[in-house]
Structure 1
Amino acid sequence: MTTRVGTIGALWRYPVKSMLGEELPAADITARGLDGDRTHALLDTETGKVASAKNPRLWRNLLTLSASATGDGGVRITGPDGADVSHDDLSQVVGRPVALATEPPSKAVIDRANPNEVLDSGIEVEVGLHAIELPPGTFFDYSTLHLLTTATLDRIGKLSPRGSVEVQRYRPNLVIDTSEEGFVENAWIGRELAIGPQLRLRVAVPTPRCAIPTLAHGRLPRDLDALRVPAQHNRLEPLPGMGLHPCAGVHAEVLVPGRIAKGDPVLLE
């Protein structure tokens, strides 16, 4: 049975891992994900690890920078004031010796801080780290495409003391506008989505949330409830043996590539 569950409300890509991204009116989705997404990352030249704000003590300043694709395979990076940041100045801005890379190292690794310890201790304190090996040849954490519904955002917002939460905190590629309520993506696991005339996706796993939603994003201040609410109301086990994690959104695999645009219908099959 095929059911229309919503429409594409927004498309986002993040040309440099852990930097702020750019919203697009339309995009090509390939087996590698949304065109131009996570094509670059910063490498810590001392450790060889990929820089990720999942370890906020070292890398939270990445979220003060914005990245956009230049169309020739490059990226433009700007600071909070909108001024360009040269690649040579990135080390000074983020406070660590880094190099901008387009090719991940063999067995690329990021450090993920324990999100509960970050909530309890803050972003200045050393907390437990878990090394995550990225999928070969990519700068992605788990899969090439991340989906989030307005229903989940509304649910988190209503449960938050502020009464709202910003989509940018969760860094989705596709935002699906839906009239349904609650954490509706949970029921899509293992099913397929048809979007626009060609794109077909398989919803793979819930998205386990790290400390990133709690951090300042550009001019958005810190918001601990962006993680506390999923931790209290939507704890799931993404994969057998992982244990329960706060989740919001889902990861998806591309079955049939295609071009999609804002407003395209989203069908659950």
Structure 2
Amino acid sequence: MSLGTVAALRRYPVKSLRGEDLERMDVDMRGPVGDRLWALVDAEGKLASGKPTTRFRKVAGLLEHSSRLDGDVPVIEPARGEPVRGDDPDVGTAVESIAGPGWRLAREDRTPHHDASPILLVTSATLARLAEVVGSEVESQRLRPSILVDVSDPPGFVEDAWVGRDLDIGAVRLHVTERCERCVMVNHAQPGGLSHRPEVLKEIGRSNDVCAGVYADVVVPGTLELGATVETV
């Protein structure tokens, strides 16, 4: 059964920074190739994030900065200054300008950088429902999906019903594992006119137990493309 079509594909090469929009996205068993493969890491091994946990250290303003891939090399685009490649000797200076002294860019080692499963799906119906409860548009960039799915369903958190099911998107098969519990990063300002909006997380909490979107694991790798049909198996 067709659920919808792929409306956007996004990859985030450096964890907790903004990412890049793609027309095609290769997926292996780890997830989107190059996605969150790098992170900003402090001297204690904690990862830079918008929230503090035992694993993460909160760093303000991370979403002011962006990342993309050039081949298999991450490129950091600071809010101020020129883009810097991950193999550039000056990358350490760029990282410290973002996170502070003692921070470095590190490639994923034994511990995965993903918060939960490697792929996050969000539907247009969820965005429409959030617009209703918040009172104005909630941009998809706030929810940081890997895959934005355009559906014909009325406003609602329709992807919640996908948990436990397999999805085929072209040659790629995903298994939906759980709902995505949200944190304060959905509130944060971003370039492009996204202002700080504390009501976003508050209304996600009131409307859907602080969840918006669903996580998925990769069952069969392949290439995702814009416009591809999303089907239940």
* Common topology (TM > 0.5): yes
Report the 3-state secondary structure (helix = DSSP H, G, I; strand = E; otherwise coil) of the residue aligned with 2:160: helix
Q: CA deviation at 1:26?
A: 0.7
Equivalent-residue separation in structure 2 for 1:148 and 1:49 (angstroms): 28
Single out whichever of 76-85 and 11-20 deviates more from structure 2: 76-85
1:228 Cα deviation from its structure 2 partner: 1.2
Taking only aligned residues, the RMSD between alpha carbons, in angstroms, comes to 1.7
Q: Tell me if structure 1 keeps the 8 A contact 2:166–2:174.
A: yes
Q: Kindly report which structure 2 residues correspond to 1:189-208, keeping only aligned pairs within 5 A, or say none.
A: 189-196=163-170, 198-208=171-181
**Cα deviation, residue 30, structure 1:** 1.1
1:248 and 2:212 correspond: yes
Q: Contact between 2:48 and 2:99, CA under 8 Å: does it hold in 1?
A: no
Determine if contact 1:60/1:215 at 8 Å carries over to the other structure: no
The one-character-per-residue Cα deviations of 1:212-246 (angstroms, maximum 9, x if unpaired) are 101112342211122111100101xxxxxxxxxx0
Measured against aligned partners, the alpha-carbon deviations of 1:235-269 in whole angstroms (never above 9, x if no partner) come to 1xxxxxxxxxx000000011111111000000023
Verify: 1:100 aligned to 2:102, yes or no.
no
Q: How many residues are treated as equivalent by the alignment? A: 222
Listed as ranges, the gaps of 5+ residues in structure 1 are 105-135, 236-245
Deviation at 1:75, TM superposition (A): 1.2
- Using the TM superposition, name which of 186-195 and 56-65 deviates more: 56-65
Q: Report whether the alignment pairs 1:89 with 2:94.
A: yes
Partner of 1:171: 144
Q: Percent identity?
A: 39
Inter-CA distance 57–75: structure 2 relative to 1 (3 Å threshold): closer
| Structure 2 match to 1:268 | 232
Q: Distance in 1 between matches of 2:11 and 2:158?
A: 23
Shift in Å at residue 191 of structure 1? 0.8
Q: Which residue of 2 aligns with 1:27?
A: 25
Q: Does the CA-based 8 Å contact 2:40-2:47 persist in structure 1? A: yes
- 1:116 is matched with none
> How far, CA to CA, are the matches of 1:103 and 1:190 in structure 2?
28
For the 8 Å contact 1:40–1:100, the answer to whether it is kept is: yes
Task: Report the counterpart of residue 66 of structure 2 in structure 1.
Answer: 66
